[in-house]
Amino acid sequence: MSDFSEQPSAPHDFEREELAKAFREVFSLASGKRVLFWMLEQCSIYQEAYAGEMTNATNYTLGLQGAGRRLIGKLDQIDPTMYPKLLLAIADLKATEQAAAKRAAGSEEGEEYDAYV
């Protein structure tokens, strides 16, 4: 009888590679990055967990953060640069959106001004 460690784990390797491939595909898109960042925000990754005397609230937030850390850990396992790249990409997306909003606000104000002249 052969040892368990000697048995091939091809199905697990295939599944792992397919999941890594799916992560790379989804998070290569701007919409995928936006969804991932939203998921991490929902996990309270960027918030303080401590809620003072409200230990249940603290524990709840720590639980959410644990889920977020697992997600970040999976990203790191697939590609150690994926999470830092995500943060940079989200910063770029937000800056682009803010610039577009300013341009839109400026053009709306300009249109109103021109209408009165």
Establish if 26 belongs to a structural domain. Answer: yes
Establish if 115 belongs to a structural domain. Answer: no
Establish if 111 belongs to a structural domain. Answer: no
Establish if 102 belongs to a structural domain. Answer: no
Number of domains in the chain: 1
Establish if 116 belongs to a structural domain. Answer: no
CA dihedral 50, 51, 56, 60 (to 10 degrees): -60
**What pLDDT is stored for residue 43 in this prediction?**
95
97 and 108 Cβ atoms separated by less than 8 Å: no
**What pLDDT is stored for residue 107 in this prediction?**
73
**What pLDDT is stored for residue 106 in this prediction?**
84
User: Among candidates 86, 76, 83, 85, which has minimal Cα distance to 20?
Assistant: 76
Domain, as residue range, for 62: 11-86
Task: Chunk the chain into consecutive blocks of 10 residues (it has 117) and report each block's average pLDDT, rounded to whole numbers.
Answer: 55 88 91 92 92 92 95 94 92 90 78 46
44 and 68 Cβ atoms separated by less than 8 Å: yes
**What pLDDT is stored for residue 11 in this prediction?**
74
**What pLDDT is stored for residue 38 in this prediction?**
93
**What pLDDT is stored for residue 58 in this prediction?**
93
